[in-house]
Amino acid sequence: MRIERIDCQLLKIPLSRPRASLNEAAAGRLNQISVLLVQLDVDAGLRGLGFAYALQSSGRALHAVAVDDISPLLQGEDARDHERLGAKVYWSLQTVGRRGLVQQAYSAFDVALWDLKAKAANMPLYKLLGGARESTPVYGSDSAWLWMSTDQIIEASQPYFDQGMMGIKVKVGADPEADADRLTTLREAFGDNAWLAVDANERYDYATALAMGRFFQEEIGAAWFEEPISCEDVEGHARLASKLDLPIAAGEMLFGRDEFAAYLDRGALDVVQPDVTRLGGVTGWLKTAALAEQRHRPLSPHLLPEIGVHLACGLPLVASVEYMPWLYPLFTAPPQVQSGRLMPPSGPGLGLTVDPDAAAKYRVAEK
């Protein structure tokens, strides 16, 4: 399966539900997602599809790395050799990107390589990964942004509960008192048995996180406390985990297995949330999952349910998928929720087909 043609496109997709208020947007928080779309054509007549994203940037740098630096390294190579190709890109570009931009750009290529593997085997990716289950628990993650009132959150979230999803994740971190009032109101509205997780996106300091963690644990019965403090404070996470029964979740900002190992070795992480795009693709994600399995820690992929559904249905230790349908407008038939669970597409590979009209609509013109 020699790679004969590589196509890299930059798209900008507006979010169906804004994640930023007007004031936040004016301060630079974006209500759109930049997507690097990569398609690899091989001599076997197959096309591999991969994608990565950027939130707080134009995405042009991501696209430039993909076109100028990574594509020439993969042109003409055997698409089956994902380990060798990953090493080739790593060592070729190490001086400019052991972490961050290069790894995020390469993740789109690695996802495309795995899409090709499963298509060559004529099976869905989750079957190639192990076929642990035929559907996965899923929670809503785009219905409780900080700018939203509790009434708006209830209205936006109720359809997820009506579909039978496990629950929702609520953003916190703007103001502790407001956060407490917000979660109290939502708990009363949805009932004692509703699954509610909280996500601070690193906004609290340690003392505030400890106090709020105790509140979320004792008064709210939260499912987990996500990114309570800065992702760089491993020791702080370890101290929180030792003082709280409430599970600590994190991982979306970590860029390598060594960073996850540092958390896991210190007992700082109860729910592991790796992001495919920050680990160099499916290959790096699977290696991180192996670390979590060794420590008996459940996983929940960060964003991209189009890929997460395959990881969750492929591997037994993946407990849930985050339903954030930001990229859904790009595909003709993205994964759907049935009886409260997210179903993987039945077609080979990722089972995704890019809508050409949508790709043309969202494509960013090259300068």
From CA 256, how far away is CA 106, in angstroms rounded? Answer: 14
Strand partners, 51: 37
**117 catalytic per annotation:** no
Exposed / middle / buried, residue 177 (Cβ in 10 Å: 0-12, 13-18, 19+): exposed
Tokens of 256: 């390598």
Strand partners, 2: 78
From CA 317, how far away is CA 346, in angstroms rounded? Answer: 22
> Among residues 63, 171, 237, 310, which one is catalytic?
171
From CA 300, how far away is CA 164, in angstroms rounded? Answer: 18
From CA 299, how far away is CA 311, in angstroms rounded? Answer: 10
- Are 113 and 82 in contact by the 8 Å Cβ rule? The answer is yes
In Å, how far are 138, 254, 266 from 60, measured between CA atoms? 32, 22, 37
**171 catalytic per annotation:** yes
- Are 277 and 52 in contact by the 8 Å Cβ rule? The answer is yes
Tokens of 53: 């994203």
**How far, rounded to the nearest angstrom, does the alpha carbon of residue 285 sit from its chain's CA centroid?**
11
> Among residues 117, 127, 302, 310, which one is catalytic?
302
In Å, how far are 18, 19, 20, 27, 157 from 148, measured between CA atoms? 10, 9, 9, 17, 11
Strand partners, 343: 336
- Are 59 and 10 in contact by the 8 Å Cβ rule? The answer is yes
From CA 281, how far away is CA 105, in angstroms rounded? Answer: 9
Strand spans (E) along 123-250: 136-140, 167-171, 195-199, 225-226, 248-250
Active centre residues (catalytic): 171, 302
